[in-house]
Structure 1
Amino acid sequence: MKRFLLLLIASLFLFSSCQLQKARAAAYLGSEAFAEGLYSQAAYQYGKAASAQHDSAEYRYNQILSLLLDASLDEVIVQSDKAFSDFPFHTEFLLLKARAYATQKAYKKALAVYQQVFALDPGSYTLQQAVMEQAVAWNENETAKNLALTLLSHPQTEQKALQVLTELEGKQSWYAYALNYLTKEAGTQAPAELQPQSK
């Protein structure tokens, strides 16, 4: 019995090692194809790598990114959902899904996915600012306004949020006056150069 268990463990180890080698080989071919702009081929190879090494979020991400660049948008959405289910702490899969929706001009769906990301990562202020500006470009003004109101409370995004709110609410709005005050105040706080003292 003991010998049987040892043989079983050895077999499992060899199988695991073999699968790892297959994954690395396929991933290498995928990276070569990706670098050459052969995104369909890259997706295929990264898919093989992901199948050989199920616990690799990196291979799954590269597969889906390749699909996105290959304009296989419906497949991106499906695979992103599956990948996020397998790796629930990797919000980058949701970002790929949002990009696919945006490319399809399904802007409301894209914004809904971004909101899901923000709920999982509320400190993603830089991303929230970028999505706020994109929402304005998409004429999704309600979403843009809601994001701007949220970003007002954070110094690093306050000015950009006020700019968006001024654009949406008009130059006679409170936001416009607040923006004017903020920009003037920032100007008066520029450090002055010290003049050398005469002896």
Structure 2
Amino acid sequence: MKLIGIVGTNADKSTNRTLLQYMQEHFADQAKIEICEVKDIPVFNKPSERVAPEQIRQLTDKITAADGVIISTPEYDHTIPAPLSNLLEWLAYTTQPLQNKPVMITGASYGVLGTSRAQTHLRQILNAPELKALVLPGKEYLLGHSLQAFNDKNVLVDTDKAQELDEYFANFVDFINKVKG
């Protein structure tokens, strides 16, 4: 199984990137997860020709070839970060590779609540007609206190949260297989 993991922030240091890196290694026997960044994507400017810039075309090709997408988002001011919103605007307006693509949402946050509000907002955005992603229903993975969640080798040390992630990922794999028929 081939998956794309999108780091939902352009911050140099992000526990959402760490979470995706952990998943990439931890689930390597079940899926190949390629991590993609939202860094260096130009600001969305609603081009009249609806032509995507090269960075968007490259990411579109990866999403199209993948079985599913994992988006790991922090929460800034109760919503997703602007760089992630920027990426989704480009994808919705130009190439639309998320249409009918299975998507799993995760989120890591320094605070206690994880990224519950951002994930809810992201689900709403991904439901837009131009995006129309198939978001794994009924599941959330909220990693609070994320600065303390990983050891120096980027291993998730909270066994309950690690087990919860294992179950969530298994649900996502099942979801992908059901969508594929």
| Shorter-chain TM band | under 0.3
Which structure's relative contact order is higher, taking Cα pairs within 8 Å and 6+ residues apart? 2
What TM-score, normalized by structure 2, do the two folds share? Answer: 0.27
More strand by share: 2
Larger Rg: 1 or 2? 1
More helix by share: 1
TM-score (norm 1): 0.25
